[in-house]
Structure 1
Amino acid sequence: MSSQCPDADNANATPATEQWTSISKHVVNSYLEANNALLAAMGFSSTAEDAPTTESAVDTTTPSPTAEIAFGDENWVMERSTDDYDTLGVGDYVRFSKPIADTDVSAFARVSGDTNRLHLESDFAEDTQFGGQIAHGTLVAGTISAALARLPGVTVYLSQDLEFTGPVRIGETVTAECEIVEELGGDRYRLHTTVIGGDDETVIDGEAVVIINELPGK
């Protein structure tokens, strides 16, 4: 998560134009794929060629409700101790696992503005203390938020403390685990939050305070 500027004198560094061109392609492709998948799930076409040209060509199929759209990936895995909001309490937990792909790192660099070469340039990263590229710490920490979102009910962050204890390599699968350790009243909970790397070592340790409300309409 360093904010170091690129070292223009490094002979092994990829030219800035080529690096940003590569990153931009990854980001644009990722956004297009995500957008197309969302439109397809809602029953809409994502290309101009597929648009109806006459009234008779209009697709009258009713799109699925937004609540039924599955934002997920076959490589994502979730496990939780309970599906029942009413019984949620101390000891309940949720785990969420996903691989940290190169496209994730490129997209995060573009969105966040954190273009530290340690995350983006393999030649440069090989000469650092890590011996290769690693993922942004805050990108990896985002899997904690992903896990919290999968608790029964609607989870709202109030605070999050983090300690980064190890690097995550690009391509490595990480698992975030959040366990309720204290009920604070008013639907507020304190949770122990960790992220485990592919070698079963803790890479992030911390604590979160959240509000977990019942799903609307219940």
Structure 2
Amino acid sequence: MSEDTGATIPFADLTSAWMQLGESAVKSATAMNRAAIGVAGDNGDAHDDNEARPGTDGATVRSGSIPSLAFEGKDWQFERSVERADAITVGDSVSFSKSIDDEDIERFALASGDTNRLHIDEAFAEDSRFGGRIAHGTLVSGLISAALARLPGLTIYLSQDLEFRGPVRIDDRVTATVEVIEALGNDQYRLSTIVSDEEGETIIDGEAVVLIDDLPAE
């Protein structure tokens, strides 16, 4: 059955773009989904503009500032409290920030198959409890994985528990913060995982368990 939703998505263009982005995400996520304003290095300083290069999907990206990252986007930013995997201890943390824009949402809808009209059809979403479109919860929680990817070493997800507390709207800037709360032995750690908005309100709360391997030899 055909239905006019009032929203038009350039399917071919987005499919091509998301295939490119999917390849990028795998590469930039030997830890899963790596996904920094300037772009930030270990100390949060921005790279020089002449380091910028066009990404395969048309976005401006820069080379990764740490060995576990393949590349970084121009509006991404991160900070971390520890520089060596063998020095990670309880209390160490990483934060990662980016804006969630319309293109992120459209690409995620195509990649995941979650084309819920709440996320991609403004007219439809206006009559929902949110009064407009919101980002996919799983897309927003992916920033946790991006923060984990910026821990020293090669981070591998083992488990993740999440509680969704509020929506993220188009062009909201959000920050994922992960903090080591327990060393489990055998290079495994339990971390608190929080995503917050620009006002510092918690949007997503949870815990993760990760394994941190040595980086592969170059």
With the length of structure 2 as denominator, give the TM-score of the two structures: 0.73
Partner of 2:196: 196
Q: Does 1:120 align with 2:120?
A: yes
Letter in 2 for 1:198: E
Letter in 2 for 1:28: S
Quick check: which one's strand share is greater? 2
Partner of 1:26: 14
CA contact (8 A) 2:100 2:170 kept: yes
Q: CA RMSD in A?
A: 3.1
Letter in 2 for 1:86: D
Distance 1:102 1:136, change over 3 A: same
User: 1:28: Cα distance to partner?
Assistant: 2.7
Cα shift readout 1:100-157 (whole Å, capped 9, x = no counterpart): 1111110111011100000001111111100111000000000000110100001111
Cα shift readout 1:36-62 (whole Å, capped 9, x = no counterpart): 9x9xx9xxxx9xxxxxxxxxxxxxxxx
CA contact (8 A) 1:119 1:134 kept: yes
User: Aligned to 2:73, what secondary structure does the other structure show?
Assistant: coil
Partner of 2:214: 214
2:22 and 2:117 map into 1 onto residues whose CA distance is 26
1:83 and 1:187 map into 2 onto residues whose CA distance is 16
1:195 and 1:33 map into 2 onto residues whose CA distance is 22
CA contact (8 A) 1:162 1:206 kept: yes
1:189 and 1:80 map into 2 onto residues whose CA distance is 16
Moved over 6 A (4+): 33-36
Partner of 1:84: 84
CA contact (8 A) 1:126 1:133 kept: yes
User: Aligned to 1:211, what secondary structure does the other structure show?
Assistant: strand
User: 1:197: Cα distance to partner?
Assistant: 1.5
User: 1:169: Cα distance to partner?
Assistant: 0.4
User: 1:87: Cα distance to partner?
Assistant: 1.1
Partner of 1:95: 95
Distance 1:31 1:212, change over 3 A: same
User: 1:201: Cα distance to partner?
Assistant: 1.0
Corresponding residue pairs, total: 180
Cα shift readout 1:79-104 (whole Å, capped 9, x = no counterpart): 00011222111000000001111111
Letter in 2 for 1:26: L
User: 1:200: Cα distance to partner?
Assistant: 2.0
Distance 1:144 1:33, change over 3 A: closer
Gaps spanning 5+ residues in structure 2: where? 28-50, 57-66
Partner of 1:153: 153
Distance 1:28 1:156, change over 3 A: same
1:179 and 1:157 map into 2 onto residues whose CA distance is 14
Distance 1:68 1:33, change over 3 A: same
Distance 1:32 1:151, change over 3 A: closer
1:176 and 1:210 map into 2 onto residues whose CA distance is 16
User: Aligned to 1:72, what secondary structure does the other structure show?
Assistant: strand
2:198 and 2:74 map into 1 onto residues whose CA distance is 18
Letter in 1 for 2:109: A
1:33 and 1:153 map into 2 onto residues whose CA distance is 23
User: 1:198: Cα distance to partner?
Assistant: 2.8
2:186 and 2:92 map into 1 onto residues whose CA distance is 17
2:80 and 2:140 map into 1 onto residues whose CA distance is 20
Gaps spanning 5+ residues in structure 1: where? 1-5, 47-66
Letter in 2 for 1:155: T
